Amino acid sequence: MSLSAAEVEFQSNKGPEPLKERLQAKLHQYPSISPVMVLLISGAVFWILNPNFKDPFNLSLVVQQVAVVGAVAVGQTIIILTAGIDLSCGAIAVFASMVMGRTAFANHLPGWQSLIIGLLVGTAAGAFNGFLVTKIKLPPFIVTLGTFNIFNALTLLYATGRDIQASEMNSTLVWMGTTFKAGRFQITLGVILMLLMYLVLSYALRFTAWGRHVYATGDDVEAARLAGIETKRVIFSVYMVAGLIFALAAWILIGRTGAASAINGIDLNLDSITAVVIGGTSLFGGRGRIIGSFYGAVIVGVFRDGLTLAGLPPYYQSLAVGILVITAVTIDQWIRKANK
């Protein structure tokens, strides 16, 4: 610790500019550095504040709690990478969960059929957003503000004022809530599904032409179009894929809460954006890594859990999350200035 401090001193003696610029350039190159640092430091602090924090049971709980928002953040990230935003993501997830629950409960469909119908409905909802953004050419903020209300209303209409409990659904739908032991940790299948989604989307973004086109479109849509990329098709596909991801998150949501309810998960809209932003993805598009959103979601979970264990009232959690978001965006702005 003292050694690295000495190094910093040494470098800043050579002049403050190079170090600052080097740091800026590094953060620019590896946008996941800052969330990982925040995660490690906050983890260490909460551990010191309350040794129970590092208890495997507690850590397992944190991860289980972030499974749903972490999954929704996967879809939110690819949308934000195209310089878009989705305020309706939580509404789509809740709507999809209600479709899964009610088709199983009221229409007595087998669980896997309800699941597939729910996934299709989520995909269609995302495609509807994508249609409004690319064909009607409305700003994503307005589109999804509108569809947020629409999907919410549809959910409430369809729910007919009643939650569907786990006991009223086929076991396929609550399967994601199944826990198993991994060493001293308790993991749910929902956590595994979330991690799989990160894996698949990381691969698609890094190693396929589609992923490269997503970045290029978010970076400079006109340049991407002139380079021969069908930017509208890319953006449409992103909203549609995100819809499917939100529906998969709905499956995790049912497993996590043990019910399909019109009010569970309504915070997901903004919480997913929080996770993406803390994870270092730029709201201006074209910049960021999807794994950062996982760190972002975990950071929020760690703060909520750690502050509770430290004995602080719950509203300090919101305070901390607010500060995190503003800090993250400030850092993003600063990093973006690096090469201007």
Partner 1 sequence: MSVAPALTATNLFKTYGSVVALNGADLQLYPGEVLAVVGDNGAGKSTLIKCISGAEVPDSGEITLAGDVVKFHRPQDGRHAGIETVYQTLAVAPALDIAANLYLGRELRKPGPLGSIFRMLDNGAMKRESKSHIADLGISTIQNIGQAVETLSGGQRQAVAVARAATFSSKVIILDEPTAALGVRESNQVLKLIERLRDRGLPVILISHNMPQVFEVADRIQVQRLGKRAGVVTPKTHQMNEVVAIMTGALKVEEKDQTLQPVR
Distances (CA, A) of 262 to 90, 170, 270: 11, 19, 17
Residue 40: CB minimum distance to partner 1, A: 26
Member of 45, 106, 196, 226 binding partner 1 (CB under 8 A): 226
Burial of 228 (0-12, 13-18, 19+ CB in 10 A): exposed
Q: Which stretch binds partner 1 (CB under 8 A): 92-100, 166-174, 203-211, 300-308?
A: 203-211
What DSSP string runs through 287-322?
---HHHHHHHHHHHHHHHHHHHHTT--THHHHHHHH
Distance CA 66, CA 267 (A): 12
Closer of 122 and 280 to partner 1 (Cβ): 280
Residue 248 token pair: 């998969």
Write the Ramachandran bin of 92: left for phi over 0, alpha for psi from -120 to 50, otherwise beta. Answer: alpha
Rounded Cα distance, 216 and 222, in Å: 10
Q: What b/e sequence results for 61-91 when a residue is b if at least 16 CB atoms lie within 10 Å of its CB, and e otherwise?
A: ebbbbbbbbbbbbbbbbbbbbbbbbbbbbbb
* Residue 102 in the binding site for partner 1 (CB under 8 A): no
Residue 52 as a binder of partner 1 (CB under 8 A): the answer is no
| Least distance from partner 1 to the Cβ atom of residue 220, Å | 6
CA 281 to chain centre: 11
Binding segment for partner 1 (CB under 8 A), chosen from 2-10, 220-228, 296-304, 321-329, is: 220-228
H or E, element range at 334: helix 315-337
Q: Is 209 in the site for partner 1 (CB under 8 A)?
A: yes
For position 196 contacting partner 1 by CB under 8 A, the verdict is: no
Task: Using only the alpha carbons of the chain, give its radius of gyration.
Answer: 21
Q: Is 223 in the site for partner 1 (CB under 8 A)?
A: yes
Number of residues that bind partner 1 (CB under 8 A): 21
Q: Does 333 bind partner 1 (CB under 8 A)?
A: no
Segment contacting partner 1 by CB under 8 A, of 48-56, 85-93, 208-216, 263-271: 208-216
Minimum CB distance to partner 1 smaller for 15 or for 228: 228
Question: Residue 53, interface with partner 1 (CB under 8 A)?
Answer: no
Asked if 212 touches partner 1 (CB under 8 A), the answer is yes
* Shortest Å, Cβ 203 to partner 1: 8
CB atoms < 10 A from the CB of 136, how many? 8
Instruction: Name the residue nearer to partner 1 (CB basis): 25 or 323.
Output: 25
Q: Does 208 bind partner 1 (CB under 8 A)?
A: yes
**Between helices 56-81 and 290-309, what is the axis angle to 10°?**
140
Residue 207 within binding range of partner 1, rule CB under 8 A: yes
- Residues at the site binding partner 1, with contacts judged by CB under 8 A: 203, 207-210, 212-213, 215-216, 219-220, 222-224, 226-229, 286-287, 339
